[in-house]
Chain A
Amino acid sequence: MKVTVDQESCVASGQCVMTAADVFDQRDEDGIVELLEDQPTEDRAEDVRQAAALCPARAIRVEGQSGFVR
């Protein structure tokens, strides 16, 4: 899976870091999201999708399937 973040939309809430601290971090200065890992391994997929869902600014994009079971 491939992850991208939009630092311009990010509101620095830190939900992503609380959910997947090995993938996301925040800048010390202003708390804006930083990506630690843009291609997380499959075993991190669930948490990364969760982080994208919890992000109040919709600043996290996960490419690949939505993770919905249909």
Chain B
Amino acid sequence: MSEPSSVLVVGASAAGLATVESLRRGGYRGTVTVVGEEEHAPYDRPPLSKQVLSGNWESDRSRLRTESALVETGAEFVLADPAVRLDPADRTVHTASGRTLRAEAVVLATGLRPKRLPGRDAAGVHVLRTLDDSLRLRAELSRARNVVVVGDGVLGSEIAATARDMESDVTLVGPQAAPMADQLGPRVAGMLGELHAERGVRLRSRAGVEALQADHGRVTGVRLETGETLPADAVVVAIGAAPATDWLADSGLRLDDGVVCDSRCRAAAGVYAVGDVARWHHEGLDQSMRLENRTNATEQARAVAANLLGADRPYAPVPHFWTDQFDAKIQVHGVPHPESEVTVVEGDPAERRFVARYARRGAPVAVLGWNRPKQVRARRQEVVETFSVPALEPS
């Protein structure tokens, strides 16, 4: 496809904004419109479980761009008006307020929606995805005595750490053997569990939650499958999130845990997906992939913008994410399969400063740094080949 005369981006957050900026940096002069559900100007999510939640940052500091930088993009931002329907054939988007927007290319960047526990939410039950969620939870944490975090993935573990730093009494409940075990493997997750325990987080590992208990509409506890009840005056449900594709149900696009795209991040002619909502084919790994991390939002946006401008290149990144919990800064390049062999290649785990390499069947799949950001970045090179697209055989 030659360069589209107009581009419509649905979702005004990290991936959507990065798409706009990459288009402009790539020299694109066409009309750009961004539709967003939230009323806020684009803001960043990682601080929402860290500096914004703890109160160390005012919420304004999470803004992605100043007003003047947004104006400079020359894009029109239509905020507080969610898209409700897409017709991919003529790339028309209808919004909740009744707008009809048409463009030559549409980029879907609607991210995720947090999953909830079944049943009606009582007061004191929280999820964390948006700035408003974070501010509500912050207010609650400042007065709550017993906080239970349900879900021991990256988000639940971060929230537990931040809440504990705010002096709440915190219990982290989840199905895994240790926090983030599915993501980091048993060895490093075990160390993370030790850190949490040392700092006073009560860990309930391998625990299933049966129900939340409430009294007069206010949460009072979390009942586990064992029958035990953990008292709680605040509960954070961090059991994962699902791609925000409900509004695309009748679009005819293929949806399967995300908007299904080819290796160019293209879902249909003139329709692309980017960020947490996009499931695309990673040619280097020859597998379907969807990433939920901040670096991917920017890097995939760059790839989508280039393809919109005619590059026709596969998106085959080395995934990268970081998490900050207590004083641990953990950074990962690659995908640390939980069954990998893990070797410490630098530093000393006992000192909580080290770099570990993850390998499967002899091939390096990830490097992980624990308070070793510079050193792990320098070793990213070791996994690049695993993710790169094989060069075409000369014919």
- A residues touching B (Cβ–Cβ < 8 Å)? 11-15, 17-18, 26-28, 30-31, 49-50, 53-54, 56, 58, 66-70
Per the 8 Å Cβ criterion, residues 11-31 of B in contact with A are 18, 21-22, 24-25, 27-29
Q: Which residues of A contact B204 (CB under 8 A)?
A: none
Known: A56-B46, A58-B64. A18 touches B24 (CB 8 A): no
Number of A-B contacts (CB under 8 A): 72
Q: Smallest CB-CB separation from A67: which chain B residue? A: B25
Contact A26 B374, beta carbon cutoff 8 Å: yes
In the complex, the answer to whether A68 meets B373 with C-beta atoms within 8 Å is no
Q: A69–B27 contact, CB under 8 A?
A: yes
- Chain A residues near B46 (CB, 8 Å)? 11, 56
Knowing A13-B322, A56-B46 touch, does A66 contact B298 (C-beta < 8 A)? no
Q: List 7 A-B contacts (CB under 8 A).
A: A12-B322, A15-B295, A26-B373, A56-B294, A68-B24, A69-B29, A70-B24
Residue of A11, A30, A50 ringed by the most chain B CB atoms within 10 A: A11
A17 to B333, CA, bound (A): 15
Chain A residues contacting B29 (CB-CB under 8 Å) are 69-70
Inter-subunit contact B74/A70 (CB<8 Å): yes
Q: Does B377 contact A (CB under 8 A)?
A: yes
Q: How large is the interface on B (under 10, 10 to 19, 20 to 34, 35 or more residues)?
A: 20 to 34
Is B72 part of the binding interface, using a Cβ–Cβ cutoff of 8 Å? yes
Query: Is A14 a contact of B373 with CB atoms below 8 Å?
Result: yes
B73 within 8 A of A: yes
* Chain A residues, CB < 8 A from B24: 66, 68-70
- CB of B295 within 8 A of CB of A13, answer yes
Q: Is the CB of A18 within 8 A of B377?
A: yes
The residue from B72, B298, B377 contacting A14, defined by CB atoms under 8 A apart? B377
Given A15-B295, A68-B73, are A53 and B18 neighbors across the interface (CB < 8 Å)? yes
Give Cα A31 to B74, complex, Å. Answer: 35
Question: CA–CA, A31 to B374, complex, Å?
Answer: 5
| Known contacts A30-B371, A54-B299, A70-B29, then 11 further A-B pairs from the complex at CB < 8 Å, ordered by chain A residue | A11-B324, A13-B320, A13-B322, A53-B21, A56-B298, A58-B44, A67-B25, A68-B74, A69-B24, A69-B28, A70-B24
| B351 shortest CB reach to chain A, Å | 13
Q: How far is the CA of A4 from the CA of B302 in the complex (A)?
A: 23
Task: Give the A-binding residues of B (Cβ under 8 A).
Answer: 18, 21-22, 24-25, 27-29, 44, 46, 64, 69, 72-74, 294-295, 298-299, 302, 320, 322, 324, 329, 331, 371-374, 377, 380
Name A27's closest neighbour in chain B (CB-CB).
B374
Across the interface, name the chain A residue whose C-beta is closest to B18.
A53
Give the residues in chain A near B329, CB-CB below 8 Å. Answer: 11-12, 30-31
Q: Are B72 and A17 in contact (CB under 8 A)?
A: no
Contact residues in A for B371 (Cβ distance below 8 Å): 30
Q: Tell me the smallest distance from the CB of A8 to a CB of chain B, in Å.
A: 10
Alpha-carbon distance A12/B377, docked complex (angstroms): 9
Minimum CB distance partner of A46 in chain B:
B25
Residues of B near A15 (CB, < 8 A) are 295
Known: A56-B46, A69-B27. A31 touches B69 (CB 8 A): no
Decide: A66 and B69 in contact? CB cutoff 8 A: yes
CB distance from B348 to the nearest CB of A (A): 15
Q: Which residues of B contact A28 (CB under 8 A)?
A: 374
CA distance A66 to B298 in the complex (A): 17
Per the bound structure, the CA–CA distance linking A69 and B372 in Å amounts to 38
Q: Which residues on A sit within 8 Å (CB–CB) of B27?
A: 69
User: A54 touching B374 by the CB < 8 A rule?
Assistant: no
CB distance from B30 to the nearest CB of A (A): 11
Q: Closest residue to B373 on the A side, CB-wise?
A: A31
Q: A13-B322, A30-B373 are in contact. Are A54 and B298 (CB under 8 A)?
A: yes
- Complex Cα–Cα for A42 and B371 (A): 35
Say which residue of A18, A54, A68, A70 sits within 8 Å of B380 (CB atoms): A18
* A50-B46 Cα distance, complex, nearest whole Å: 21
User: B28 contacts which chain A residues (CB < 8 A)?
Assistant: 69
Most buried by B among A11, A14, A28, A69: A14
A26 contacts B377, C-beta separation under 8 Å: yes
Cβ of B25: which chain A residues have Cβ within 8 Å of it? 49-50, 53, 67-68
